[in-house]
Chains A and B, each alone.
Chain A
Amino acid sequence: MLMKSTQREEKAATQTNDTPAEVVLDCHAEQIFYGDFLAVRDSKVPIQKNKITGFIGPSGCGKSTVLKSINRMNDLVRTFRFEGKVQFHGIDIYDKKVDPVSVRRNIGMVFQQPNPFSMSIYENVAFGLRLNRFRGNMDEKVEKALRGAALWDEVKNKLKNNGLSLSGGQQQRLCIARAIATEPQVLLMDEPCSALDPIATRQVEELMIQLKQRFTVAIVTHNMQQAQRVADQTAFFAVDISQGGRTGYLVEMGPTSELFNNPKEQLTKDYLHGEFS
């Protein structure tokens, strides 16, 4: 069953009940390929400033692929090909003139598995600052980032310890501190809690809600409760197997409460009620 999702989701994006905000990042993925394999099609996801946008959907629906396309992380995959546009303040980041390295410096990313560098906690956080030739008070910025990631009190006495010596939840918050230290405009999070226990998950969720005051956040999650708890806007993706492949696409997107309480599409309804195969 195929649906004409594009028009509807455009409508959904403009019909927000919450106060509509400026769209910082307008992602329109027409087609994303890995080699010959069409992974994602027709997905338009506008990301609003100082909001948390959640990406949900069954596994294989391309939500992570779309997220990773937003800061050109997928360039690491040799066979990756993106057709469409990602407008960042009106500039298409897939334009040939744009340097993907600059893009990643403005659009930070937190990964599914905590991946601190094998260096001290302090150096992990200072890494991005040094990379961006920051010349101010480094200690102050590192402390600010660690406080921002709600990690300061736990590590302030062992900043020289290796980042890998922390627990999983602490490592993930260290990665968040590392990502926010340079104050990127947008923060992408790819299932940031999937490797964490419930307590660490709650800490990271609370952190995200604080972060949206200063940053714009987009988060992929496999956990619908999590999307309900933290996301302002939610985009629902599904897999289309009608063409023989497994192509992901956006079914609908809207304010979280509206999408969960009053979905427009039958497919969304089925998924939310667990009737999705």
Chain B
Amino acid sequence: MKHAQTAENEFHLPRLERQPFEPRALKSIVLSSITVAAAITACIPLFSVLIMLLYRGGKRLSLEVFYQLPPTAFETGGGFGNAIVGTLFMVGIAALISVPFGILAAIFLAELGPDSKVAITARFCAKIMTGLPSILAGVFAYAAVVVVFKTYSAWAGGIALSLLMIPVVLLTAEEAIKMVPRAMKEAAVGIGCTPAQAMVKVILPVALPGIITGVVLAVARAAGETAPLLFTALFSDYWLKAQEPTASLAVLIYNYSGMPFENQIELAWAASLVLVLMVFLLNIISRTLGGRKKI
């Protein structure tokens, strides 16, 4: 602490040194520590989940879980080959429905009629639908498909998943198309493209990486969904028959997590590991393609 006084007039030289024990400095230190602690705490679940998956799931993981059928109650061994096939099949159906649906609507929203009433309404609906509880997609598919065809099926499961993918594909594809430089759109129109030609020949190829990013993200989200499949695809201990109840990794994990048999619980962990690896792989693909991060 320095106080300088001159004879003529009182003059306090301002204190410029750091004052670590001053209240405001203490407050800063405390708050910063809380922030660091919160950030570290938030990372713990992720690492805990990953470590447990590798430890408990990795222990059970072997080649045969990929091609064997689920075991019955007191059996040992077995696998979840049918659940992997089921998940891939239903996510495939969902993608086949939602990709054309989402991209075509996105083209209208981004280019052909961005300010029209229907486009504004559709954009709003899509945003609202991204927040729709996934179980309600299952409820709707149950009412619209299962009840009508009187059977649980892979089709119903795929349709339920597509409801969750459509808004994600639509909104990311719209962003991607809007990102195409205006100069390039002008060039296409200026050379005499019809709007459809400009879109198909020039704009879509440029927007493609962004669109694929969105599709892959939507697929990743759908692959991990359980709730929409619970009473649309149900579950099955047998290989895929699309018009009958169908197994999926997610529902298998749910069913087996509540069983009192060690073998099934181990399989649930192994299936979780496979599912998380699939989802992470898809996320990495979409990040590499997109070059920028989004959730």
Say whether A and B bind each other: yes
Which A positions have Cβ atoms within 8 angstroms of B? 71, 73, 76, 78, 101-102, 104-105, 108-109, 111, 113, 115-119, 127-128, 131-132, 175, 178-179, 182
Taking A104-B189, A115-B183, A118-B206 as given, write out 19 further A-B residue pairs in contact, using a Cβ cutoff of 8 Å, ordered by the A residue number. Answer: A73-B189, A76-B186, A76-B189, A101-B192, A101-B194, A104-B192, A105-B191, A105-B192, A108-B190, A109-B190, A117-B188, A117-B202, A127-B191, A131-B191, A131-B192, A131-B193, A131-B197, A175-B187, A178-B191
Q: How far is the CA of A12 from the CA of B193 in the complex (A)?
A: 37
Question: Which residues B200-214 have CB closer than 8 A to chain A?
Answer: 201-202, 205-206
In the complex, what residue of chain A is closest to B188 when comparing beta carbons?
A: A117
Q: Known: A105-B192, A128-B192, A131-B192. Contact between A118 and B205, CB under 8 A? A: yes
CB contact between A111 and one of B187, B193, B197, B205 (< 8 Å): that residue: B187
Give the distance to chain B from A97, nearest Cβ to Cβ, in Å. 17
Q: A181's closest neighbor in chain B, by CB? A: B191
Mask for B163-187, Cβ within 8 A of A = 1, else 0? 0000000000000000001011111
Cβ–Cβ contact B191 & A128, under 8 A: yes
In the bound assembly, the distance between CA atoms of A102 and B205 in angstroms comes to 24
Tell me how many residues of B have a C-beta within 8 Å of chain A.
Answer: 19
Q: Does B115 contact A (CB under 8 A)?
A: yes
Specify which chain B residues have a CB less than 8 angstroms from the CB of A102 in the assembled complex: 192
Give 18 pairs: A residue, B residue, CB < 8 Å, sorted on A.
A73-B186, A76-B185, A76-B186, A78-B115, A104-B189, A105-B192, A108-B191, A111-B186, A115-B183, A115-B186, A115-B187, A117-B188, A118-B205, A127-B191, A127-B201, A131-B192, A131-B201, A178-B187
- Report how many A-B pairs have Cβ atoms within 8 Å: 58
State the CA gap A128–B205 with chains docked (Å): 17
Chain B residues within 8 Å of A, Cβ to Cβ? 115, 181, 183-194, 197, 201-202, 205-206
Closest approach, in angstroms, between the C-beta of B18 and any C-beta of chain A?
A: 51
Question: What's the minimum C-beta distance from B198 to chain A, rounded to whole angstroms?
Answer: 10
User: How many whole Å from B12's CB to the nearest CB in chain A?
Assistant: 54
Complex Cα distance, B186 from A178, in Å, reads 13
What's the minimum C-beta distance from B212 to chain A, rounded to whole angstroms? 15
Q: How far is the CB of A112 from chain B (nearest CB, A)?
A: 8
Q: How far is the CB of B175 from chain A (nearest CB, A)?
A: 18
Chain B residues contacting A78 (CB-CB under 8 Å) are 115
In the complex, residue of chain A having the shortest beta-carbon distance to the beta carbon of B186: A111
Nearest chain B CB to A71 CB, angstrom units: 7
Contact of A73 among B181, B190, B194 (CB under 8 A): B190
Closest A residue by C-beta to B180: A118
Q: Which residues on the A side are within 8 Å of B188 (C-beta)?
A: 117
Do A111 and B183 touch across chains, with their CB atoms under 8 A apart?
yes
Looking at the assembled complex, report how far the CB atom of A42 sits from the nearest CB atom of chain B, in whole angstroms. Answer: 26
